[in-house]
Amino acid sequence: MTGGNAIRGTRVGSGPTMSESERGEAAPRKRVDYWCSNGHRSRPSFALDAEVPEEWDCPRCGLPAGLDPENPPAARRTEPYKSHLAYVKERRSDEDGMAILEEALAKLRERKGR
């Protein structure tokens, strides 16, 4: 006696592939060469009427890639992590910080009744 499941043994995508007439016509495309400073070439494709960007991230090394193989763009400079205190110190001098601290301490002393 055989099982009643008619789709047994099949998986998604195992059937006949859809042809272009069923799927719709693909947009005309163009391939553009990009070069990074490590000499890697990547060739993404774009629609013919799409605007081609000046830079593209290299899929191999992650560096920016440009259209000119002789003059690829330089690597982007990454800023190190800054703590909240580092940002505060950029905005305030030590004298300003001491004045704010003294003001806050004076308010605390006033509340405590000293």
Q: What is the pLDDT of residues 44-96, one digit of tens each?
A: 999 999 999 999 999 999 999 999 999 999 988 888 889 998 888 889 898 99
Look at residues 38, 77, 72 and name the one whose alpha carbon lies nearest to residue 55.
72
The pLDDT tens digits of the residues spanning 3-13 come to 555 556 666 66
**CB burial of residue 23 (10 Å; 0-12, 13-18, 19+):** exposed
pLDDT at residue 4 in the model: 58
58 and 42 Cβ atoms separated by less than 8 Å: yes
Reported pTM? 0.52
Phi-psi bin for 9: left (phi > 0), alpha (psi -120 to 50), beta?
left
Spans of all domains in the chain:
28-75, 79-114
C-alpha to C-alpha distance for 57 and 65, rounded to whole angstroms: 6
Could you confirm whether domain 28-75 is CATH 2.20.28.270? yes
Q: Which residue would you say has higher pLDDT here, 16 or 39?
A: 39
